[in-house]
Structure 1
Amino acid sequence: MARPMGPRFKIARRLGVNVFNHPKALKRGVKNQKLSEYGKQLQEKQKLKGYYGILEKQFRRYVHEALNTRENSGEILVQNLERRLDNLVYRLGFGSTLRQARQMVVHGHILVNGKKIDIPSYRVNIGDAITLMEKSRKNELFIENFQSTSLSIDYLEKDIENFSGKLVKKPSREAVPIDVIDSRIIEFYSKN
């Protein structure tokens, strides 16, 4: 399973946004540069890929799926990325970073509706319950992460007592906490 493994802080500085949600990512100066329209579109695409930690081939599949719908392509793209299991595990607070959440999924610590799912790109449906495995509830790191993270997203419900969360509705574009202009990404791919 491929995943981006490059220098995270350097990428964050180049994009000008802390896409990895790490407190030290933008400590040094942000690189400011004048960009053409193509450069702006490319930068938005790189930001969105950075937020969700996916590579180009998989990202292109998400874009083509969004372009083949009758609804707003940019909104559908962000919704589908937001509903990835590794991302929802991160948003619920099981992992302190997206990379940690992804590793939790791959190592089998997460159940979806009572079944062990170890595929980070698994698309969670509305009403699905995401739970920490019973034996994983003894891990101090998981307990601390989950209990210390407050949830401020309206499309997720969190049950601290049972170490679980639920996707209660489709994520609206405004509720998703990312700084991306998705129309530029759609323009970038509709030319190809």
Structure 2
Amino acid sequence: MSRYTGPVCRLCKAEGVKLFLKGDRCFTEKCAITRGETKNKQRRGRPRAKMSEYGLRLREKQKLRRFYGMNEGQFRRMFGEASRMSGVTGHNFLQLLERRLDNIVYRMGLATSRSQARQLVLHGHFTVDGRKVDVPSYLIRAGAVVAVAENSKEVAIIRENAEVAASRMIPEWLEVNSERMEAKVLSIPMREQIDVPVNEQLVVEFYAR
């Protein structure tokens, strides 16, 4: 399946929840979900038909896949990896998704969205433990240091993002040094530390059907 290239706000409206695909716009009143909630309060419509069990699980899977900006093939392969690990499959899956390099860059505040983080990684602007890595799906281990490459610290978009990164919420499992433009992964995040608006068990049930 190819990557979706249309208006990302449509994806949020389709899932009925903020997926934070539009960067800073998602935190303003211009957000499609925020505008939609306002309009719904002003008008009444017919209730939607009850969703089937399959439909419920499909929507939850799509919501999670779109949240991290992955195509179906990548997503399914990572789920397969999570299912082979010991422990709770749903929690393993979320931890693998959070450990992706593009997600770490986004969580550091050096990109306004995961799609922008993916592009910055692909262009070779980041290093892991001092070695340049340009693979967005690269899995970061606990104790690793993700940093902006020395020759990329003057890139305009990275500097702009770094200036406002201090005002963004940084996960407690990351230790960010804004001046050096780097972050250390203190630990693999626990489920309660991952702010993803999904029920991962429904995703597990979708693939287990």
User: TM-score, normalised on structure 1?
Assistant: 0.92
Q: Is the 8 A contact 1:156 1:168 kept in 2?
A: yes
Partner of 1:173: 191
- Report how many aligned residue pairs link the two structures: 190
SS of residue paired to 1:131: strand
Q: Is the 8 A contact 2:101 2:137 kept in 1?
A: yes
Partner of 2:43: none
SS of residue paired to 1:165: strand
- Deviation digits for residues 31-73 of structure 1, max 9, x if unmatched? 9743111111001100110111001111111111122223000
Partner of 1:61: 77
Counterpart amino acid of 1:170?
Answer: I
Q: Is the 8 A contact 1:95 1:101 kept in 2?
A: yes
* Cα separation, 1, equivalents of 2:140 and 2:33: 32
RMSD: 1.7
SS of residue paired to 1:29: helix
Distance 1:55-1:21 versus aligned 2 partners, 3 A rule = closer
Partner of 1:16: 16
Matched, 1:154 2:153: no
Matched, 1:107 2:123: yes
Point out where structure 2 has 5 or more consecutive residues left out of the alignment: 41-46
Partner of 1:26: 33
Counterpart amino acid of 1:60?
Answer: R
Counterpart amino acid of 2:4?
Answer: P
* Cα separation, 2, equivalents of 1:132 and 1:113: 11
Larger Rg: 2
Report the more deviating stretch, 91-100 or 76-85. Answer: 91-100
SS of residue paired to 1:144: helix
Partner of 1:93: 109
Partner of 1:74: 90
Matched, 1:190 2:208: yes
Identity score, percent: 38
Aligned with 1:40 (options 51, 56, 61): 56
SS of residue paired to 1:26: helix
